[in-house]
Amino acid sequence: MVRPPDDDLTGRAFDTHLLRRLLSYARPHMRGFFFSTLLLLLLAVMTLFVPYLVGQAINDYLVGDPSVATSDDTRTQGVRWTATFLLGIGVATFLCRFAQITITNLTGQKVIHDLRMSVFTHITSRDLRFFDKTPVGTLVTRVTGDIETLNEFFVSGIDVLFSDLVRIAAITVLLFAIDWQMALATLATVPLILLWAFIFQRRSRKLFREVRGHVSNVNAFMNEALTGIHVVHAFGRERAIHGRFQEKNSGLRDAHMKTVRNFSWFFPGMELLSALGMSAVLVVGYQLVSGGHVGTGDVVMFWLYLTLFIEPLRQLADKYNILQAAVAAGERVFRVLDEPSDLPPPEEPEPLGEARGHVVFDDVHFHYDERKPVLEGIDFEVPPGTRLAVVGPSGSGKSTIISLLCRFYDPQQGRILVDGHDLRHVDAQSLRRRIGVVLQDVFLFEGTVRENLRLGDDRLDDARLMEAVRSVQAEPVVERIGGLDGHIRERGATLSTGEKQLLAFARTLAHDPALLVLDEATANIDTETEVLLQRALDRLMKGRTAIVIAHRLSTIQECDRILVVHHGQIRESGTHDELLAQRGIYARLYRLQFEG
């Protein structure tokens, strides 16, 4: 069962270090956030003019103060001018708001684009041990769900939060400027509002982390279920897998319901506390108007300013909620980015020099789990241009030898040398460009034949690709698909096992590796296809060092040397005829395959 990924996160309500790190991704795009903030401040200023104009219009024109307006025409003209100003402010607000929303969202998307690329690039560059212990669904959640949560923070959090704080400060000054008694009476509710918001955000923090953990679990389970759907159908386990998904889906639903209940309490509470402030305005304002201390327009102005004051307070709680979601998502994203690599790159990589294909395993020991060694004391040498086969029962460590040679993992003891260089001291990408790998389970990406053969190496032109295709006799397969522009579905769903293997051979040959690695490349196919693939293999291995992991012993009899691996150790070594003469493990495996 997949462990909820949030179990060991910090749980801090306000992580300034993490926020600074998030904001570092916004630094290249600060111009957009700067203009957005200016527009928000301009919007705030225009909004603050509205209550003032309305209040003055009531005092000067609607109530009928004779000292200000002496005739109905003057009052009418004043109301019209006020209405015109208000309409102008409305139009300006519309234009500024449109520009602000556009700039903020475009800038936020640029930041998220950079962050998503950073996370994806980091994940795809990790060593295989990282993927052994991290569910794919969890990683998908990091690149999609968590990044999308951070998008809301960049779009609705940074500059809006600053603007709201400025607005609250400005309105507080204006409220006291209108009348200090009404200001004190109404602002007495502010500590209660802040306390209510504080209680809400603390609980929201915990609930957001819980929801994200359940989302990650659901994604991981769905990925596992869909990847193994053939097994599910083959064994009729649909009901069982539906039941397990029901458990995880119910957990996610319950986590969401907790957040719904939390919101259900918060917003009515804010409305109640706001109503207390409004009530105080009416009571105190009535007394002040009756005593002649303020005008009716002043009370209306105060009321409107108070409405504008309470709204950003509500928004502050919502923005803090966004901040908490961003902190939770950021913790999870940076947890992936910060996890140390099990394969640290060398500080000064050694140049590999001329590609010869010389391989040496020197007293290599390796384990995935400390309690269970996989390889013990592996020693062998493969001279340039020779063919080495590795055979043995399932689980004996054959494929692990290939993984170590490609430096997907590092051995815990011993050395592996390619062309005289310890793999720990060379750049992994340079090494892998020198090695061509063909696996039993060929993976083809969704895309054209050309894209699958090139794998991003644009130096390979069409002529070279077709030469490789013809060399391994894969031309009929490519023509049937539609040539190099023909489309291959995900994982090569419409191709047979043999056809996929031929394309894999062509792909490897096109990249012209000095060292060829074949891991059960002709397993699980019929005899006729095996003959075709063996011919292609012979062309592929010609003039190259080749290491062949084989299940079918008929495919390795011409190899220069055969190693028999059993329980992680080399038990036998020699040619095909020499090993048969020894009457050991190899001879027994041979008899099982060819003599029933």
Question: Does 309 reside within a domain?
Answer: no
Whether residue 352 lies inside any domain: the answer is no
Predicted confidence (pLDDT) at residue 353 exceeds the cutoff of 90: no
Over the chain, what is the mean pLDDT? 81
216 and 170 together in one domain: no
What's the pLDDT tens digit per position in 434-457? 888 887 778 888 888 899 888 888
Rg (alpha carbons) of the chain, rounded to whole number: 36
How many CB atoms neighbour CB 136 within 10 A? 14
Taking residues 544-553, report their average pLDDT: 83
Structural domain of residue 281, as residue ranges? 180-293
The mean pLDDT value for 413-426 works out to: 90
State the Cα–Cα distance between residues 334 and 446, nearest whole angstrom.
30
Most confident of 154-158, 191-195, 242-246, 311-315: 242-246
* 289 or 423, which is more confident: 423
List, for residues 200-223, the tens digit of each pLDDT value.
Answer: 777 777 787 788 788 878 888 887
CB atoms within 10 A of CB 392: 24
pLDDT in tens, 123-152: 888 877 788 777 777 788 788 878 888 888
User: Does residue 190 sit in the same domain as residue 169?
Assistant: no
- The pLDDT of residue 444: 83
All residues at 6 or more sequence positions from 578 whose CB lies less than 8 Å from its CB, including other chains:
none
Q: Give the pLDDT confidence score for residue 506 in this predicted structure.
A: 87
437 and 334 in a common domain: no
User: pLDDT band for position 7 (50/70/90)?
Assistant: very low
Would you say residue 91 has pLDDT above 90?
yes
The answer to whether residue 2 sits within a structural domain is no
Write down the pLDDT at residue 519. 80
122 with 203, same domain: the answer is no
Query: Is 538 within the bounds of a domain?
Result: yes
Give the CA distances from residue 481 to residues 114, 121, 443, 495, in Å, rounded to whole numbers and listed in that order: 36, 31, 17, 9
Q: Is residue 141 part of a domain?
A: yes
Are residues 21 and 85 located together in one domain of the fold? yes
pLDDT at 381: 93
Is 311 part of any domain?
no
**Is residue 537 a part of any domain in this protein?**
yes
How much is the average pLDDT of 108-135? 84
Token output for 481: 């698909």
- Clarify whether residues 152 and 26 are in a common domain: yes
At how many degrees (to 10) do helices 30-57 and 158-178 cross? 20
Q: What is the pLDDT of residues 554-596, one digit of tens each?
A: 778 888 999 999 988 999 999 999 999 998 888 888 888 776 5
User: Can you tell me the mean pLDDT for 255-277?
Assistant: 82
At 527 the pLDDT is: 63
Say which residue, 309 or 63, is predicted with more confidence: 309
How far is the C-alpha of 396 from the C-alpha of 563, rounded, in Å? 12
Taking the model in full, what pTM does it have?
A: 0.71
The reply to whether 191 and 161 lie within a common domain is: no
Asked if the model's pLDDT at residue 184 lies above 80, the reply is yes
Q: In terms of Cα–Cα distance, which of 388, 478, 400, 402 is closest to 437?
A: 402
Out of 316-320, 377-381, 470-474, pick the least confident: 316-320
Whether pLDDT at 3 is above 50: no
pLDDT on residue 472: 81
Comparing CA positions, the residue from 411, 251, 429, 456 lying closest to residue 346 is 429
Residue 232: helix, strand or coil by DSSP? helix
State residue 573's pLDDT score.
92
The predicted pLDDT at position 359 comes to: 92
**Residue 497, SS3?**
helix
Whole-number pLDDT of residue 309? 83
Place of tokens 């998220």: 112
Encoded tokens for 569:
């150790």
For residue 8, the model assigns a pLDDT of: 41
- Cα(69)–Cα(556) distance, rounded to whole angstroms? 108
Alpha carbon distance 214, 116 (integer Å)? 21
| The pLDDT of residue 92 | 92
CATH number at residue 135: 1.20.1560.10
Same domain, 448 and 366: yes
Whether residues 150 and 215 fall in one domain: no
Q: Does a structural domain hold residue 494?
A: yes
Residues 125 and 144 in one domain: yes
Q: Are residues 447 and 422 located together in one domain of the fold?
A: yes
Q: What is the pLDDT of residues 491-517, one digit of tens each?
A: 777 788 888 888 888 888 888 888 888
Joined tokens for residue 368? 């995935």
Q: What pLDDT, on a 0 to 100 scale, did the predictor assign at position 383?
A: 92
pLDDT for the residue numbered 95: 94
pLDDT attached to residue 186: 80
Could you tell me which of 357, 358, 377 has the C-alpha nearest to residue 563? Answer: 377
Choice among 270-274, 358-362, 459-463 with the minimum mean pLDDT: 270-274
For residues 172 and 216, membership in a common domain is answered with no
Of 88-97, 319-328, 379-388, the one with minimum mean pLDDT is 319-328
Task: Determine the pLDDT at residue 10.
Answer: 46
Number of domains present in the structure of the chain: 3
Given this model, what pLDDT does residue 350 score?
79
Q: How much of the chain, in percent, has pLDDT values that exceed 90?
A: 9
Q: Is 196 exposed, middle or buried (0-12, 13-18, 19+ CB in 10 A)?
A: middle
Contact 481, 520 (CB under 8 A): no
Please tell me the predicted confidence (pLDDT) of residue 375: 92
Question: CA-to-CA distance for 513 and 545, rounded, in angstroms?
Answer: 9
How far apart CA 112 and CA 158 sit, in angstroms, is 14
- pLDDT category at 158 given cuts 50, 70, 90 is low
The pLDDT assigned to 521 comes to: 60
pLDDT at 235 over 80: no
The CATH code of the domain that includes 517 is 3.40.50.300
Q: In the predicted model, is pLDDT for residue 52 greater than 80? A: yes
